[in-house]
Structure 1
Amino acid sequence: MREIFSEELKNLHVRFSEMGMLVNEAVYNSVKAFVNHDRELALEVIQNDEAINEREVDIEKRSFEMIALQQPVTSDLRRIVTIMKASSDLERMGDHAVSIAKSTIRVKGKTRVPEIEEDIANMADIVKQMVEAVLKAYVQKNDQQARKIAQQDQQVNAAFQTIYDKCIAEMQRDPQTVIGSTDYLLVGTYLERVGDYVTNICEWIVYLNTNKLIELNTNNQEKM
């Protein structure tokens, strides 16, 4: 019976990792589509979101079944809860990728500002590295690395502030860029939120190893 449970738990880990890779690809492609004005790639991101949603539902279903039927011990229950919570964060990250893709379609043909688009691309690179790193930290159960990754969110916030300041200045300088700059702000906000969700996953990794939920980047105050 224990061997069956261990195999199911291993399978759950694999499904979560695969979902993480899908989300990372969605975030990367959504920004690539936005910066390159690639409508087709944006539509692909939107269409592929269904697969991410299905993964999240499947993981949740399997998790509840394992809890109900296997009655796992505390340490195993903590692993299952971590996967459930973190997969929910991944699903929301996928939603933000879709929002970025929709912005690509919406601003098609509008006045663009290459300098701000470059800033958005650089911000996306930071976020992409965070997503890849947090998935690796999860697989390795490395809570120390998770704490370091969470600190990178400060870079994301700083990048968003730069984009925000430039967008406001650009809208004041040239009214024709108002629509495009508004979407730049939205895309920057979506990326900033993805960074927040990565931090959430970092917190779940710490919880997995320490049985303590703490708010990273907020003076490490314990939540429970």
Structure 2
Amino acid sequence: MKALEERLINIKTGIAKMSQIVVDMVHYNVKALVERDSNLAQKVIDLDEDVDQLDIEIDEQCLEILALYNPKAIDLRSIVTALRLIVDLERIGDHNVDIAKEIIKLNQIPPVKPYIDLPKMAEASAEMVKDAINAYFEKDTEKSLEIIKRDDFIDDLHQQIIRELLTYIAEDIRKTKGAISLMFITRSIERIADHATNLAELVYFMATGKIIRHIHIEDL
């Protein structure tokens, strides 16, 4: 059992590294957007290779445990959770790459508007990811439910920013290209929050064995 415990620790270490990278990617993207720093946006794109490599390594470790140790109960749920966590983390990395590519495009044209709500939305999404992984390590179901509730705040900001950008296009057709890029960025940030919600739901499953992705949060 000691060998199994060591392997489980290695998996958790990999998930911690993977989550830290994708959270850093969000922060870098915010700075690249606000400061119009295309080099920093390119750094985000380059970091995706590290995320993909960790995804492969953790996946292989989980499959080895399933093949060698036939884990039961909480150990089995931990492995299943890890396999699904890395899927969401890898997709968060992909969304960050999409954001970075749009930022590089935006930096080639005049700015559309001051960035206030968009960085706020991105940072809130990053915090959701970070807190979901902390809840994973702590097996904290209360924190996982609290994270799920935060998705409503992200959705509200998403709708608000889209309405504002549509207004900019209506007032000045020359801002259409930049506004569309910002819409893509806003949508990608909203998807990051959705994946953070998935992470929180997986934490709840790992700790309790209950699948809650189709259950209203109020019912819990």
Separation (CA, whole Å) in 1 of partners of 2:127 and 2:33: 18
- Where do 5+ consecutive residues of structure 2 fail to align? none
- Deviation, structure 1 residue 111: 2.9
1:102 and 2:91 matched: no
Q: What is the TM-score of this pair, normalised by structure 1?
A: 0.94
Residue correspondence of structure 1 range 125-136 to structure 2 within 5 A? 125-136=123-134
Taking the TM superposition and a 5 Å limit, the aligned residue runs for 1:1-224 are 2-115=1-114, 117-215=115-213, 219-220=216-217
Provide Cα deviations, 1:7-41, integer angstroms capped at 9, x if missing partner.
11111111111111011001111222122211000
Paired with 1:199 and 1:156, the residues of 2 have a C-alpha distance of 11
CA distance in 1, matches of 2:143, 2:217: 15
Deviation >4 Å, runs of 4+: none
Residue 221 of structure 1 and its aligned partner are, at CA, apart by 9.4
Letter in 1 for 2:212: I
Amino acid at match of 1:16: I
Query: Which amino acid in the other structure matches residue 174 of structure 1?
Result: D
Check whether the contact 1:215–1:221 (CA below 8 A) recurs between aligned residues.
no
Matched letter for residue 95 of structure 1: D
CA distance in 2, matches of 1:40, 1:111: 18
CA deviation profile, 1:183-205 (whole Å, cap 9, x unmatched): 11000000000000000000000
In the alignment, the residues of structure 2 paired with residue 26 and residue 87 of structure 1 have an alpha-carbon distance, to the nearest angstrom, of 16
The amino acid of 2:94's aligned partner reads D
Q: What is the root-mean-square deviation in Å for CA atoms of aligned residues? A: 1.5
Equivalenced residues, count:
219
Question: Aligned letter for 1:20?
Answer: S
Q: Give 1:75 deviation, angstroms.
A: 1.7
Deviation at 1:70, TM superposition (A): 1.1
Q: Once the 2 structures are TM-superposed, how far is the Cα of residue 79 of structure 1 from its aligned partner?
A: 0.2
Q: Which runs of 5+ in 1 are unaligned?
A: none
Q: Which amino acid aligns with 1:197?
A: H
- Are the aligned partners of 1:130 and 1:198 in contact in 2 as well (CA < 8 Å)? yes
CA distance, structure 1, for counterparts of residue 71 and residue 217 of structure 2: 29
Inter-partner Cα distance in structure 2 for 1:181 and 1:48: 26
Q: Measure, in 2, the Cα distance between the counterparts of 1:59 and 1:51.
A: 12
Alpha-carbon separation, structure 2, partners of 1:51 and 1:40: 18
